[in-house]
A and B are shown apart, each in its own frame.
Chain A
Amino acid sequence: MSLLIGSLIIGLILSLLAMGVFISFRIFNFPDITVEGSITFGAAITAAVIQLDLHPLLATFLGFTGGFLAGMTTGVLHAKFKINSLLAGILVMTALYSVNLHVMGKSNIPLLTQTTLFTYVETLTRSVFPDSETVSLAGWNVQLRDLMTMVVLLIAIALAGSILRWFFRSHFGTAMRATGNNQNMIRALGVNTDWMIILGLGLANGMIGLSGSLLAQYQGFADAQMGIGMLVWGLASVIIGEALINTRSVGLLIAGAIMGSVFFRILVAIALRLGMNPNDLKLITALFVLAALVLPSLVKRFNIKPLVNDNR
């Protein structure tokens, strides 16, 4: 059970990453590689600020801001200087590696003894349940601390998802989505598409930075190399989420990204729990994402109509 809760927690933290990747890849149709730099940037800023004994909430917010700025940089490179989208992402990602080292001052900052957001969750747990540390859930002993962390994260992520849904259904957000769909059309309506791309990538990488910030606080350290492989996780979550949800409504797709991330973490945990060699996991991951990509079209071949109507 604690294994399930552990995977849920990581899945929820990484669902912010999935939402960010969803914004850049799906809404803007922009293959944004900044991800691997911005997630570390968020973590690095948070760790550095927490080390200065400032409030973790501020540190988390600054992590978000850092990611936002990184994303905006990629956006400016692409929209204003007409640099190819992949190249713009690569440039910022590469630059962020050095920036991260400077922000942290070394390659790794431990947060094991510092006050982080999760310390507050622990304090909260202790004030709600002062008597016990573990609880028996259907026979499994579960740490109350972990359970509470999961619940708090679930609420926070649901909130973030709702805000994102609200945003993308507002006038501004709709214009943003239209920028990804048909730039000429929306430009004809008087929208500045350059700024839409810049702000959109900022928002996407802000979410990713937030994800990195929470991840660093949860695992107890920030490391200069923690961005490696994150893009694949995020993309896989988005694709699996789409396969799970199978709709085009933006709100549901955001929910799908969250669910995809959680679903994916649980699958990884099952594979590891069954004793699969972690060296093979990347291969399995690739096969799994392939399945998520191919299955919907296979289903279509059997002439099964869409399960519900689009309700955009």
Chain B
Amino acid sequence: MNIKQTLTPFRKITPPVRALASIVLVALILLYTDRQNRNPESAERKVTYLTENIPVLTGGVVNPLFKTKVREGLKNGWPREMMKLALIEYSDTPFTEYTEEGIRNGLLEVGLTEGKDFILEVMNAQGDITMLNSIVDVVATKPYDFVMTISTPTLQAACRKLSHKTVIFTTVADPVTAGAGKDFTDHLPNITGISTLSDFGGMMRLVQDLIPGVNKVGTLYNPSEVNAVVNKESFEKLLAPTGITLVAVPINTTSEIGDALQSLIAMKVQADCQIVDNTTGSAFPQIIRICEDHRLPCFTFDSPQIKNGATAAAARDYHQAGLEGVYLLARVITGEDPGRIPFQYVSKTDILINKKAAEKCSITIPDEYKGFIIDL
């Protein structure tokens, strides 16, 4: 048979019609894959929300009573063989990986086994916002019982499109600014989760312990970044009652870092407690180098900077953020109303001290910090 003859009837079709026909064809295929959602029996799930709270942790480990409650909740509220869990990630970053690891460990800790009690499907948009939208669309149509999200854009996409599912977010710096609620208690009814805003209190204690009698610390910040201003003001407010002054020098581009740091040093600050913003974040090694040259201790809220030579870090623990996200999820499984669970800050902060850098700045590390020393 000649392929030319076979195709003859198709040659009469004009291109736009053919193109439209192909689109209709793929649309029909998509509808076919989505056929389970057709004629849904109105399965109004009756969830009776509990009012009593069982503490999740007792003495650092998950309360056995809580574990049994989770199991009961799984049996009663969600009567299917296995709980289906979707985890949406935005990009492949170390933070994401730590958080995912935390989530997997957390699920084990609350007594759930993968493959037996739940299926976890991880979807990573690889930093592509259109892919994120498609993923959220798909998650909305698949029968997931719960959705967990990592990072701010995923939370925002979920706010918009997943109003019919329970969403637990983790590793979001500020869920309120992201738009998930008016404040930590008054938020969207189907969403709760863990915030990983910088731990200013932890940083304050670290500075006080490492530099006894400290009364003046400095930071650079970019006044055009709202998050930088918020960070600066929160830190300032916290430090004020302790008698420590925060000298904040504004910069607009990374090229101003050198001069700005020199002026900080000229003002005789005892340490650079660098707050988090995009401008300084992208040039952190430069900050560290200049601090090193002037033997000025450099404190950071971002643990990877320790490897670059920062003196000490008080950073949010992203593994813990994943873990605590799962605790919230487990509380929802036991029957709590996600709308009434306030957003929470992750409870643990990672303290890291770079031995070499500390020695260079002639800091004597107190005994109670010996466990946090990293020798590079």
Chain A interface (Cβ < 8 Å from any Cβ of B):
1-4, 6-7, 10, 14, 98, 101-102, 105-108, 110-113, 138-141, 215, 219-221, 223-226, 228-230, 233, 241, 244-247, 252, 255-256, 259, 262-263, 265-270, 272-275, 277-279, 281-282, 302-305, 307-308
Contacts and interface: CB of A to CB of B under 8 A. Distances in A.
Contact of B178 (A6, A108, A140): A108
A10, A108, A308: residue with the most chain B Cβ atoms closer than 10 Å: A108
B266 interface: no
B23 A7 contact: no
Given A101-B225, A219-B129, A266 B15 contact: no
Given A3-B141, A139-B38, A302-B3, A269 B130 contact: no
A113 B130 contact: no
Interface stretch (B63-71, B96-104, B118-126, B301-309): B118-126
B159 interface: yes
Contacts of A6: 133-134, 137, 140, 161
Contacts of A244: 15, 18-19, 22
B153 A108 contact: yes
Contacts of B133: 6, 10, 219
A266 B27 contact: yes
Contacts of B4: 302-304
A266 B123 contact: no
Contacts of B37: 1-2, 140-141
B225 A247 contact: no
A311 B227 CA distance: 56
A7 B137 contact: yes
Interface residues of B, number: 59
B51 interface: no
Given A3-B138, A4-B31, A302-B4, A106 B227 contact: yes
Nearest to A251: B16
Nearest to A229: B128
A269 B179 contact: no
Interface stretch (B6-14, B198-206, B241-249, B289-297): B6-14
Nearest to B137: A6
Interface string B124-167: 11111111011101101110000000001100110111000000
B278 A219 contact: no
Contact of A4 (B15, B18, B30): B30
B43 to A, nearest CB: 12
B347 interface: no
Contact of A278 (B13, B135, B159, B160): B135
Contact of A273 (B14, B15, B127, B141): B141
Contact of A229 (B11, B26, B130, B225): B130
Contacts of A263: 19, 22-23, 26
Given A4-B31, A278-B135, A307-B13, A220 B160 contact: yes
Contact of B127 (A229, A256, A270): A229
A311 to B, nearest CB: 10
A113 to B, nearest CB: 7
B29 interface: yes
Contacts of B40: 141
B178 A10 contact: no
A2 B226 contact: no
Contacts of B18: 244, 307
A233 B130 contact: yes
A208 B133 CA distance: 18
B33 A274 contact: yes
Contact of B134 (A107, A141, A241, A268): A268
14 contacts: A105-B224, A106-B227, A108-B156, A108-B178, A110-B177, A219-B160, A229-B128, A263-B19, A266-B26, A272-B135, A273-B33, A273-B34, A279-B124, A307-B18
Given A262-B23, A302-B4, A108 B152 contact: yes
B26 A270 contact: yes
A131 B161 CA distance: 22
A266 B25 CA distance: 10
B19 A245 contact: yes
Given A113-B179, A220-B157, 20 more contacts: A2-B37, A3-B30, A3-B137, A10-B137, A102-B224, A105-B225, A108-B152, A108-B153, A215-B130, A221-B178, A223-B129, A226-B129, A229-B126, A245-B15, A263-B26, A269-B138, A272-B134, A302-B4, A304-B7, A308-B14
A169 B266 CA distance: 66
B376 interface: no
Contacts of A281: 126, 131
A140 B31 CA distance: 10
Given A106-B226, A278-B126, A252 B30 contact: no
B19 A3 contact: no
A269 B30 contact: yes
A119 to B, nearest CB: 12
B286 interface: no
